[in-house]
Chains A and B, each alone.
Chain A
């Protein structure tokens, strides 16, 4: 399988505090991988480094065969990103916002792709709604449409279903799974919903204190920690991730 993401030995310090400590991660086409861990484990910093939004202090990132940060623009043409906590551009209708992002991806005639994406996630009725008037769940679904618009080879999803009702979350999950299976799109997901992760992802990487401490299938990882499921692993790690005053953890997302 073609490698779409290869990150090696990533390190990131903020003000002398280590947020990410030697993280390595590989994704091949069609992989569905979850990056998990308690708050402050370094997930967001890792994701933002993989997306080229933060430069690592050490380590290398090859995204769809292109080295960051030098070839960030070319690499991002094949990468989609959505975060459940991010709003969409104010004052634009959904279709205008999607046209805007399609333009940023260099798409010349994006209307058919926009229609297809809205249809895939069953939100065609939102096309003419103003972005700031969407519910958080609708906004997330539009965000997912934005992420898959340019038929990327990798989609990075940060807490994609945090604000979704179970039925809408199911719809989003099925749409993403179909994208991965049908088109070989790799998915890298962070989530605090362990059940959702078990349903969507075939591989998980658990982070704690800036490091990946376990990696494998959900059942293998649960077995490594002597737990029945990922929820148990999460609780185990959260319990052992207490702040050590001499070695505090730092997550820039919690700084704001």
Chain B
């Protein structure tokens, strides 16, 4: 994973290439600009309805729903942005052109991360504005804790994209569905909208093993007026870092298989 003096040029070339695609293909902006608003409207409305039905409980379901979906978008946008940047090369059947240049896997990944970060900023901006305008909900009510909570979710999104890219390298384009599918696996298990105690008993140990669970739990605790649960935030961050390590290891293994078994020809 060595960097050279040419690495910044290569990394920026990858980032620029993907930014041009975003500019040229408006449909690619749906993930960033349209679906976040749809999500805020959907989950915010469900939350508002449930809150109205159960005012006696003294707790706002709308707050849980809105904070949940907004924070979920840190995970969603990072994972989808990174995975689709790689998939862009497979959709263009351009992978062989890329792997026969000096760019290393890690330089390419860094270039994708730059584009991904920009998409996250745009996507989160959209959900924050929609939440504020449509439901008067301000995500910044989480205070400074928002920074590490968001960072832990972005780190997890990054880790998940490494797994998805590894799967596509190993199993071909049939594995593309995991780009979106993996998120809808993690969403219910992480307790994005509810405490994981609401999950069936058999699934709770799985929820406990996911770093994302601790990020969403920490956000709910703060919104309920409790003290900032730094231990939960620490677990979310540490779990995210471990997951990235596992993702790098997994992607490295899949790349080795990809090269050993000649899978590059699947994409050309």
Contacts and interface: CB of A to CB of B under 8 A. Distances in A.
B123 to A, nearest CB: 20
Given A14-B261, A53-B259, A87-B92, A101 B97 contact: yes
B91 to A, nearest CB: 7
A73 B264 CA distance: 17
A91 B20 contact: yes
B109 interface: no
Question: On chain B, which size bracket covers the interface?
Answer: 35 or more
A86 interface: yes
Contact of B14 (A48, A55, A104): A104
Contacts of B204: none
Interface string B11-29: 0111011001100110000
A53 B12 CA distance: 23
Interface of A: 12, 14, 44-45, 48, 51-55, 69, 73-74, 76-77, 79, 81, 83, 85-92, 96, 99-108, 146, 156, 252-253, 255-256
Given A52-B100, A89-B17, A103-B13, A255 B265 contact: yes
B17 to A, nearest CB: 4
Interface string B255-268: 01001111011101
Contacts of B262: 12, 14, 45, 48, 54, 252
B268 A86 contact: yes
B268 A83 contact: yes
B98 interface: yes
Which 8 A-B pairs have CB atoms at the shortest separation, nearest pair first?
A: A103-B13, A106-B6, A252-B262, A104-B101, A81-B100, A91-B24, A77-B102, A76-B102
B45 interface: no
B100 A102 contact: no
B9 A91 contact: no
Contacts of B17: 89, 92, 96, 100, 103
Contacts of A107: 9
A87 B259 contact: no
B99 interface: yes
Contacts of A96: 17, 20
Given A14-B262, A86-B268, A91-B24, A53 B96 contact: yes
Given A55-B259, A104-B10, A87 B265 contact: no
The dominant DSSP class at the B interface is helix
Contacts of A87: 92-94
A59 B25 CA distance: 45
Nearest to A15: B261
A2 B10 CA distance: 28
Contact of A73 (B20, B97, B102): B102
B97 A86 contact: yes
A51 B20 contact: no
B104 interface: yes
22 contacts: A53-B99, A53-B100, A54-B259, A55-B259, A76-B101, A83-B96, A88-B92, A90-B21, A90-B92, A92-B17, A100-B14, A101-B101, A103-B10, A103-B12, A103-B16, A104-B10, A104-B102, A104-B103, A105-B101, A106-B4, A106-B102, A256-B268
Contacts of B101: 76, 101, 104-105
Given A104-B102, A106-B9, A53 B264 contact: yes
Interface string B172-193: 0000000000000000000000
A45 B268 CA distance: 13
